[in-house]
Amino acid sequence: MELQAVLMAAGGGSRMPDLTYNTPKPMLPVGNKPLMWHPLNLLERVGFEEVIVITTKEVQKMMSTDPKMKDVKMKLDVVCIQEDGDMGTADALRHIQQKIKTDVLVVSCDLITDVALHEVVDLFRAHNATLAMLMSKAHDFTETVPGQKGKKKTGEQRDFVGVDQSGKRLLFMANEADLEDGLSIRKSIMRKHPRMHIKTGLVDAHLYCLKKAVVDFLADNKSISSIRGELLPYLVRKQFSKTTNCPKSKDDADDQTQKTADGSTNSTELLICSRDEPLLQLAQERSCWNDHRGDMSEAYHGGKLRCYVHIMDQGLCYRVNTLAAYIEANRLASKLLEEPAVHPSAVISERCQMGPDSIIGAQCQVADKTSIKRSTIGNSTTVKEKVKVTNSIIMHGVTIEEGCNIHGCVICSNAVIGRGADLKYCLVGNGQQIEAEGKHRLVSRF
């Protein structure tokens, strides 16, 4: 592979603290597999043999004992960072600079998608891009979220994404929060791309192809902490900035690299230029191919720093970073997994009714006269007689006593649901016990 894969798996899951209180976000079960297993599986299926995993010691310890993680055949080069450190994604990438020998494919551990990965990589290759990223249409989660009264509106503000007529070249990117004075487009962009499509309602999937030079650039610019919040807007903006000619030698490059007041380096020229730049420029000048229409300008309008985006119109693409997204990902997990919905080691009564869109984990025991529909039942969970489970996520090691009715709930690992309990849209924490015969609606028990 000409790309090195990097999996970001150190996030704390601050937007769904009820779930991550006892279980780190990368290890939350989705379809009875750790959340981080899904992007790893995506990389493995397209041929990657090694992945650098940036995570914490807690997650590394859990990875070593989780049987599902042993299904991953790739070599995992695990790099641990401090759990209490205020380290952003760009900081994490900077942390492994010495391991990066080629261009990189960076993926977040909370990405659930069936994207044809070559769609993003081909953009990166074909245009010798500095950045190629994946975006998808935003999802409107209509289901009631356990523990919350009514529909909780997200506090996120919209992204404004500008693309050219092909819909592939990424020309502009800004968040609504940064547009206090309204949406303004620089003249340098409009001169080269007079027709720009501004799109909203898109979600950054946190999957990026980046030039190795970008990682080196981060090493010289320590003030950039976040890939999504700082690095991407910087790269997109710098596409149309005036730059000097490429330095001809390393000494020249050092001379043209200037230190800024905060100790970072103003090395945009180093970022956009490469050792092969004269050859690339000659090839572009003598080529009849052009990546745009409407004029006879040179390919790419002379730009050396180029950003591209692949926007998914169809298929599954979710960032599992909220409780609503976590629930939706579990409901769709059966469509992503190419294996039996019922684990061979599970003991299921012949008098149990189970819908085709449910998943039963390893070593589960499901008794007579039980109904399970549109739900995920975790490993080593016991479901006793006359239990009805609908639209719910039951994690590992849960005990559900006889006669219970569970609808629209998330029940975390090792919880015990007492005999005859009636739960609707409830969130039950790790190891919690629900009393027998009780009725609970829209509550969170932790």
CA distance 212 to 235: 14
CA distance 15 to 155: 11
Between 383 and 264, the higher pLDDT residue = 383
Average confidence (pLDDT) over 420-438:
92
Average confidence (pLDDT) over 362-389:
96
CA distance 174 to 171: 11
Residues above pLDDT 70, as percent of the chain: 83
3-state SS, one letter per residue, for the chain: CCEEEEEEECCCCCCCHHHHCCCCHHHCEECCEECCHHHHHHHHHCCCCEEEEEECHHHHHHHHHCHHHHHCCCEEEEEECCCCCCCCHHHHHHHCHHHCCCEEEEEECCEEECCCCHHHHHHHHHCCCCEEEEEEECCCCCCCCCCCCCCCCCCCCCEEEEECCCCCEEEEEEEHHHCCCCCCCCHHHHHHCCCCEEECCEEEEEEEEECHHHHHHHHHCCCCCCHHHHHHHHHHHHCCCCCCCCCCCHHHHHHHCEECCCCCEECHHHHHCCCCHHHHHHHHHCCCCCCCCCCCCCHHHHCCCCEEEEEECCCCEEECCCHHHHHHHHHHHHHHCCCCCECCCCEECCCCEECCCCEECCCCEECCCCEEECCEECCCCEECCCCEEECCEECCCCEECCCCEEECCEECCCCEECCCCEEECCEECCCCEECCCCEEECCEEC
Order of strands across the sheet with 359-360? 359-360, 376-377, 393-394, 410-411, 427-428, 444-445
Confidence of residue 242 (pLDDT cuts 50, 70, 90): low
> Taking the domain 341-445, which CATH number applies?
2.160.10.10
Question: Which residue spans of the chain are classified as CATH 2.160.10.10?
Answer: 341-445
The per-residue pLDDT for range 277-286, each reduced to its tens digit, is 566 556 555 5
In this prediction the pTM is 0.86
Q: Report which residue type is found at 360.
A: I
370 pLDDT exceeds 70?
A: yes
Tokens 């960032």 label which residue?
319
> Quick one: pLDDT at residue 248?
42
Average confidence (pLDDT) over 200-215:
95
298 pLDDT exceeds 60?
A: no
28 pLDDT exceeds 90?
A: yes
**8 A C-beta contact, residue 75 and residue 50:** yes
Report the range of poorest mean pLDDT among 185-199, 202-216, 234-248: 234-248
Question: Which residue spans of the chain are classified as CATH 3.90.550.10?
Answer: 3-243+305-324
CA distance 37 to 67: 11
Backbone angles phi, psi at 116, to 5 degrees: -80, 100
- Angle at alpha carbon of residue 201, lines to 26 and 291, rounded to 5°: 100
**8 A C-beta contact, residue 171 and residue 163:** yes
> Quick one: pLDDT at residue 287?
54
96 pLDDT exceeds 90?
A: yes
Average confidence (pLDDT) over 205-211:
96
Between 304 and 129, the higher pLDDT residue = 129
Tokens 């730059």 label which residue?
243
Tokens 């016990």 label which residue?
433
231 pLDDT exceeds 80?
A: yes
CA distance 395 to 384: 16
Question: Does domain 3-243+305-324 correspond to CATH entry 3.40.50.720?
Answer: no
Tell me the pairing of strands 3-9 and 170-175: unpaired
CA distance 110 to 26: 7
Structure tokens at 34: 């750790």
